[in-house]
Structure 1
């Protein structure tokens, strides 16, 4: 499988650069949607974790049924680190639509900025970020129904 060395991530119809998003280490739901489209073009089919931290976007997931990848993207949208592993058993994790549904469930609870999305034990999805008042939120969502199971607010 050919390694792609650069991936530009035009967010919100190109009006906001990845640099602007990563500098704040958070993304809006619309920016997550744009990121999912671009990482899909990169080759991701399933996601285990997406995090926005330290000026980078890190995506962990599956490229197909046999390869997992952990890719860091720079502020300019270039893939600077890619680690691939061959694994048996087929792709696991969340589809792009699963991520979108979880983000919608979290935003319906007041989450406005997202730092991390990841799969958890017990068939749950955890979405971490900040609400409208700036307070931290950690929302646990059932991965099948997308119903909110628990909300931790700090």
Structure 2
């Protein structure tokens, strides 16, 4: 199991994105994220590839799949989850997409590591999961982990005797 965690001062980020800009952006809290993910589930998502909170455009973007295999790419408003754009195409949901349970486990690991506000999550076809956000001091937070660390069998096996 290999977790990497980086904390960088927000003022070190490119594009002039400093601590004051972050404070004005009102980062996405866990409560807001939970409401948006519930809206995504209501829309039909059951596997996730990418989540991205864009404060400049008041937009939350989600890429993933429905249970019937349709690939979904939608945008919602950050404040209330209103659907603003959607794209669908027939596909086959890959094994490497995160289930809601795995997504929640990844976010729990990030929170336990110090992430207070969410910015982005992405998983690739190799199972590499990258989470970005901000800690309580508004420094950039990044966590890299592998999808295998998130399934219930792996989590349960760590507590078994044998």
Aligned residues of 2:102 and 2:147 also touching (Cα < 8 A): yes
TM-score, length-normalised on structure 1? 0.71
Which of 1 and 2 has greater Rg?
A: 2
1:64 aligned onto 2:62: no
1:35-82: CA deviation from partner (whole Å, max 9, x where unpaired): 222211111111101110021011110012420010011344321211
- Identify the structure with the greater helix proportion: 2
Aligned residues of 2:47 and 2:93 also touching (Cα < 8 A): no
Q: Structure 1: 5+ residue runs without aligned partners?
A: 1-22, 148-154
- Report how many residues are paired: 125
Give 1:124 shift.
1.9
TM-score, length-normalised on structure 2? 0.68
Q: Structure 2: 5+ residue runs without aligned partners?
A: 1-23, 156-162
Cα distance in 2 for partners of 1:45, 1:91 equals 12
Aligned residues of 2:50 and 2:120 also touching (Cα < 8 A): yes
Counterpart in the other structure of 2:45: 44
Cα distance in 2 for partners of 1:111, 1:131 equals 5
- Which of 107, 116, 121 is the aligned partner of 2:120? 116
Query: In 2 relative to 1, CA 78–63 (structure 1 residues): closer, same or farther, beyond 3 Å?
Result: same
Cα distance in 1 for partners of 2:137, 2:73 equals 32
Cα-Cα RMSD: 2.2
Aligned residues of 2:96 and 2:126 also touching (Cα < 8 A): no
Cα distance in 2 for partners of 1:68, 1:48 equals 10
Give 1:24 shift.
3.2
